[in-house]
């Protein structure tokens, strides 16, 4: 008798719990369940678990731990996040799972026993819900808008999402799609792109904050949106930008989320030799910034591997006057804030900077809720739940996956509480 698969629901979301069960197996039979996916660079990723069918002849990943595999313990989504890159024919391998948009994430599950194929199924894990309308925007800015169907409770809350130094959309598009699946309209804004696509700047230097304000005003003006219930969130450099925007335009923001945030404005990032520049401008003027050590230069691979050290040196070698001038004036915000950090952040000292933000707000008697969710075993990139984990140095994949899930649940609850 062939195995009977029970897999997923009508539309499986990437942030949900995978329901994967197989029946009609011989009780006690040992089987291997493998998962395969291909990223946008053509890199194949693979995970596996070896299970033993129970007395009823079933294997259920939500209630069973594999006897061996790419993950340990009971975890319904273990086969998703524990995928590892498969070596290519030329011997190369990429450790970064490149998912560049919000198209479904296709995963193929293969069941074998003693090397014999017993069955195979492919499941699409969705970022975008069926009731969400997606609009690509080229003017007056570049972005992608995810709007759920109108709620019976009235106008919808909305969030502007800002990605990090990878440029383009990427994380911001995926996060905006997830927010929309939970009833929050969301706009992913592309404010620069390394390849200069969509007419965007190709260096993360002197980006006008007016671009963010233009996008926020557009979002607030959309039909069915409550302009008094809008938030902003960002990742890494995007969180630096989000905190800046919430500080300089407090009337526009009712909730702020920063993944791996900064407390100060840092020097702009360029891949070509240029003079020193701030990352941002406001009202036509570059904002004061903390310079990186050394003279004007482009970023070489060795420096990119020591980003945390460069940021710490920028913080530690600046004078008190320089630090104050470049500090993001968070006390000017008028909204609750949630800051998310990992202890193994190799990009910059996000946890220490988040604590600095909290201390400043406490000192000035800030009247809104401010939370710092710190993950002792996570790194800089607290990513989208259930995608293959990008293991940073010193970070266990299990810890990174758990942090991604918990952080997303915290963010979703935070926005629903403060934009309700």
pLDDT in tens, 261-295: 999 999 998 776 667 899 999 999 999 999 988 76
Q: Comparing 175 with 269, which gets the higher pLDDT?
A: 175
| 343: Cα separation from own chain's centroid | 17
pLDDT of residue 199: 85
Residue 294, pLDDT score: 75
| Residue 210 token pair | 């007016």
Closest CA to 36 of 128, 127, 120: 120
Q: Give yes or no for residue 158 having a pLDDT over 60.
A: yes
Average pLDDT over residues 382-402: 88
**Phi, psi of 375, rounded to the nearest 5 degrees:** -110, 105
Q: What is the mean pLDDT of residues 36-50?
A: 95
Return the pLDDT at 273: 63
Average pLDDT, the chain: 93
Q: What is the mean pLDDT of residues 19-40?
A: 96
Taking 90 as the threshold, does the pLDDT of residue 5 lie above it?
A: yes
Q: What is the mean pLDDT of residues 3-32?
A: 91
Q: Give me the phi and psi of 167, to 5 degrees please.
A: 80, 175
SS (H, E, C) 209-277: HHHHHHHHHHHHCCCCEEEEEEEEEEECHHHHHHHHHHHHCHHHCCCEEEECCCCECEECECCCCCCCC
Tens digits of residue pLDDT in 79-132:
999 999 998 878 777 778 999 899 999 999 999 999 999 999 999 999 999 999
Please tell me which residue, 140 or 195, carries the higher pLDDT value. Answer: 140
Q: What DSSP character marks residue 388?
A: P
Q: Decide if pLDDT at 225 tops 80.
A: yes
Q: What is the average per-residue pLDDT within 334-340?
A: 98
pLDDT tier at 48, thresholds 50, 70, 90:
very high
pLDDT of 219 > 90? The answer is yes
Q: Which whole number is the average pLDDT over 21-44? A: 96
Higher pLDDT, 420 or 110: 110
Question: Cβ neighbours of residue 354 under 8 Å, at least 6 residues apart?
Answer: 258, 261, 263, 339, 341, 372, 374
DSSP 197: G
pLDDT tens per residue across span 300-322: 666 666 789 999 999 999 999 99
CB 97 within 8 A of CB 174: no
pLDDT 10s digits, 360-372:
999 999 999 999 9
Would you give the DSSP letter of residue 299?
A: P
Strand order in the sheet with 207-208: 207-208, 280-282, 285-286
Mean pLDDT of 195-216: 92
Work out the average pLDDT over 257-263: 98
- Cα distances (Å, whole numbers) of residue 265 to 51, 314, 413: 51, 11, 29
Query: What percent of the chain has a predicted confidence (pLDDT) above 70?
Result: 95
DSSP string, 50-74: EEE--TTS-EETTT---SEESS-S-
- As a whole number of angstroms, the distance between CA 230 and CA 220 comes to 7
| C-beta separation of 37 from 106 below 8 A | yes
Q: Give residue 419's region: left, alpha or beta (phi > 0; psi -120 to 50).
A: alpha
High-pLDDT (> 90) share of the chain, %:
83
β 20-23/4-7 pair status: antiparallel
Q: Give 18's contacts (C-beta < 8 A, 6+ positions apart).
A: 8, 12, 61, 62, 76, 77, 79, 80, 123, 125, 386
pLDDT at res. 352: 98
Q: How many CB atoms lie within 10 A of CB 32?
A: 18
Average pLDDT over residues 199-218: 95
Through-space distance between the first and last CA atoms of the chain, rounded to whole angstroms: 52
User: SS3 for 179?
Assistant: helix
* Two structure tokens written together for 288: 């004061």
Residue 2, sorted as left (phi over 0), alpha (psi -120 to 50) or beta, turns out to be: beta
């Amino acid at each position: 008798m062939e195995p009977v698969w029970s897999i997923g629901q009508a539309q499986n979301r990437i942030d949900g719990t995978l329901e994967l069960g197989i029946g009609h197996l011989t009780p006690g039979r040992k089987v291997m369940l493998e998962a395969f996916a291909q990223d946008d660079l053509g890199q194949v990723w693979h995970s596996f678990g070896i299970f033993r069918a129970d007395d009823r002849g079933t294997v259920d990943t939500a209630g069973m731990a594999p006897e061996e595999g790419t993950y340990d313990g009971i975890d319904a989504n273990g086969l998703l996040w524990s995928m590892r890159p498969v070596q290519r024919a030329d011997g190369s391998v990429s450790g970064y799972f490149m998912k560049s948009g919000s198209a479904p994430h296709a995963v193929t599950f293969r069941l074998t026993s003693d090397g014999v194929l017993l069955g195979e199924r492919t499941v699409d894990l969705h970022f975008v819900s069926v009731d969400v309308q997606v609009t690509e925007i080229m003017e007056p800015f570049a972005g992608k808008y995810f709007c759920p169907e109108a709620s019976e409770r009235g106008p919808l809350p909305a969030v502007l999402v800002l990605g990090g130094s990878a440029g383009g959309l990427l994380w911001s598009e995926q996060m905006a799609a997830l927010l929309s699946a939970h009833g929050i309209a969301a706009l992913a804004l592309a404010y620069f792109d390394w390849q200069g696509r969509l007419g965007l700047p190709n260096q993360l230097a002197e980006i006008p904050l007016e671009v963010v304000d233009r996008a926020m005003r557009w979002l607030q003006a959309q039909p069915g949106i409550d302009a008094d219930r809008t938030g902003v969130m960002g990742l890494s450099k995007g969180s630096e930008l989000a905190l800046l925007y919430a500080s300089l335009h407090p009337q526009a923001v009712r909730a702020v989320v920063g993944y791996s945030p900064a407390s100060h404005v840092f020097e702009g990032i360029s891949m070509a030799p240029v003079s020193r520049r701030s990352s941002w401008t406001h009202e036509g003027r570059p904002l004061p910034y903390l310079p990186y050590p050394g003279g004007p230069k482009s970023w070489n691979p060795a420096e990119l591997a020591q980003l945390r050290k460069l940021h710490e040196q920028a913080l530690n070698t600046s004078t008190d006057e320089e630090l104050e001038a470049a500090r993001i004036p968070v006390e000017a915000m008028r909204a609750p804030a949630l800051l998310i950090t990992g202890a193994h952040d190799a990009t910059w000292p996000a946890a220490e900077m988040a604590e600095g933000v909290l201390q400043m707000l406490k000192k000035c008697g800030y009247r809104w809720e401010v939370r710092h969710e710190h993950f002792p075993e996570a790194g800089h990139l607290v990513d989208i739940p259930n995608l293959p984990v990008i293991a940073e140095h010193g970070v266990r994949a299990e810890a990174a996956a758990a942090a991604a899930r918990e952080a997303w649940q915290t963010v979703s609850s935070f926005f629903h509480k403060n934009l309700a």
